[in-house]
Amino acid sequence: MRAAGRAAAPRIIAAVVAALISVALAGPLRAAEGDVLLREEFTSLDAWRPLTFPKIPRHSTYSIATDSGQSEFWLKAESDKSASGIVWKKQYDVYHYPRLRWRWRVENVYARGDATRKSGDDYPIRLYVMFQYDPDTASAGKRFKYGFARAAYGEYPPDSGLNYVWESRESPAEFVVSPYTESMMMFLKEKGAAKVGQWVEEEADVVADYRRAFGKDPPRTASLAVMNDSDNTGEKAVSFIDWVEIVR
């Protein structure tokens, strides 16, 4: 993140830790009626909480948008040289509910966006699956590292994450390693400006994607965040999400 540069990773870890502390209190959801655990249609933001970064003063904004007849509702995400997100207040078991589905739209992409560079690590919209660290299954080295982080922040940071992003430029890659940390993978679900202004439906199997990206099984418990950020590129964007589902 632009002047976020070197100090961005600790700030993001601290913010995501705070988010995970709050959602962890409810414990992971493991059962629901039928095959759908979550069907969020964004008639309100009651099920979501803010995710902000202490040293990034400009925050993106999230609101409920509707059509003229108030029969359709969408999440509207706006950024202007800013970064912040919203986090679903619950956690869930990714092995019971591995599939993520959603419908999104962007009004523009970034001229300087580039998923492979810190200076371009902005997306007009992304869904971020955050996996909870489990000390019982971690290596000795990882337990030491995360123990140090827990002492610094008061709680463990996320183990790892999958970001499903709308990348601003065309790319042959299916996913790339985050330019900030190897524990975060960026899946380029849409690329470039060809579909700007169009509603696009997406689907992902987070367990299968995690195995392909990291070469191992994911931690069992995860939460979900949405972001529109432009603090690295210094640009602005407007985007929408119609609905999000977590399903078997």
Which pLDDT tens digit goes with each residue over 93-103?
999 999 999 99
Topology given in CATH for the domain delimited by 8-247: Jelly Rolls (2.60.120)
Residue 18 above 90 pLDDT?
no
Better pLDDT: 71 or 3: 71
Distance CA 183, CA 178 (A): 8
DSSP characters over 173-218: -SEEE-SS-TTEEEEEEEESSTTTTS-EEEEEEHHHHHHHHHSSPP
Residue 136 above 90 pLDDT?
no
Query: Domain extents for the chain?
Result: 8-247
pLDDT score for 55: 82
Q: State mean pLDDT over 65-91.
A: 95
pLDDT score for 146: 76
Q: State mean pLDDT over 178-201.
A: 97
The pTM (predicted TM-score) of the whole model is 0.83
145 φ/ψ angles, rounded to the nearest 5 degrees: -65, -45
